[in-house]
Amino acid sequence: MWQLVKIYSVVLLLVFSFVLTGCNDVKELQNSNYATAIGVDYKDGKYESYIQMVNLDQVATTEGGGRGEPQMLVSKAVANTFEEAFFEVYKTAQERIIWAHVTSIVLSETAINEGFQHIYDALTRYYEFRLTPWVFGTNDSIEEVLSITGFFAKTSLDTIMHNPIRSYEQSSMIRPIKLQRLAREMFEPSQTTYVPSITIDHTQWDKNREDEPKLMINGAFFIQNQHYKGFFNLDELKGLRWTIPDTQRASLVVPDEINTEFVLILKDPTAKISSEVEGNSPSFVIHIKAKGYFTNRMNNHNLLLGKIIEDSKEKLKDEIKQLYQLGIEKNVDFLNLEHELYRKHSTVWKQLKEDGKIIINEDSLNNVTVDLTLKHTGAVLNKTLDIKNIE
């Protein structure tokens, strides 16, 4: 009997311990602030750090409950170093700040130019911080970017800044990048990586006949061998989407947006780069394989299917070659040809490499080939293109 009493007492102590611990955990959760995004700017030799916090009660609304206006806070602190700027924020933090929920980092162009390595090192030294946030650059006010809301009274968590993949699946132009991938590519010898540029568009959407600003991708900031290479807009980077493995769905306007003959949607294109070396002169061939369908064809331009495919191939090749030529002019290896040389012909790469200079020149790209298949018309996805009617 006494043994049973002792066992019962121990069980009660354990239960009370768990209950009390659970209460403390709940209290800790309620009395904490959750950072959701970090912004970094560099002006006049000082770092400006921005912290975005979202009212998570609005994110987890109960069924039948209204949302109301989104509540987001954005802080700003200035200091000589990035770490000091972070500690300035703690001075006005009313409760503990939790960093484990940060899903986006926004950098100004000047911060990228100053060197992302220092920011990366500071962030990853803190145990709460994860390597999974999306990374963006901007030339806009970081404070304004962090304050933009989603549609229908949704917070910033429902924008491309925190969840870019859904939009990218529909229109793949500039691939999103997470912190861990950016670090891996940035420190990889001779690999060119890039950070999507985010900006605020004031013209696309209206809300009750008033401007409704929304975030959009307008280009990218490029980095190679930890050297900042510059910003390039979407129009300049059209050829990039055909050469990266992340592209899922992209449109091809032939011959161009002004004199449109037809529009294709290409899905899951793949690029293969092969390299050869004669003496100390590397040369490259890029082979693109893609499949797609029509979304639009002008009524008064009844082109033959063979003509359509050939024109499409030429348009795709032109976009890649124009990007390659831009890279020669701006000293940017957009197509990562140099990285291919490093991987396949490392001895030659070491002989040719100069710090900050790209190895490739106007004669390095030997050829671009395209294998294009049109499967269906687009109106009904399983409807095969009727070659006889077109030809």
Residue 266 has pLDDT above 90, yes or no: yes
Give one DSSP letter per residue of 235-246, joined into a string: GGGGGGGGSSTT
Work out the average pLDDT over 165-171: 92
Work out the average pLDDT over 277-282: 84
CA torsion sign for 254, 296, 257, 234 is negative
pLDDT at 301: 56
- What is the C-alpha to C-alpha distance for residues 106 and 34, in angstroms, rounded to an integer? 17
pLDDT at 332: 95
353 compared with 58, residue with greater pLDDT: 353
Residue 333 has pLDDT above 90, yes or no: yes
pLDDT at 77: 93
- What is the C-alpha to C-alpha distance for residues 337 and 122, in angstroms, rounded to an integer? 32
User: Given 3.40.50.150, 3.40.50.2300, 3.30.300.210, 3.30.70.1060, which CATH number is that of 238-391?
Assistant: 3.30.300.210
- What is the C-alpha to C-alpha distance for residues 285 and 333, in angstroms, rounded to an integer? 15
Q: Locate the domains of the chain by residue range.
A: 29-233, 238-391
pLDDT at 374: 85
Give one DSSP letter per residue of 53-102, joined into a string: EE-HHHHTPPTT----S--EEEEEEEESSHHHHHHHHHTT-SSEEE-TT-
Instruction: pLDDT band for 83, please (50, 70, 90 cuts).
Output: confident
pLDDT at 298: 64
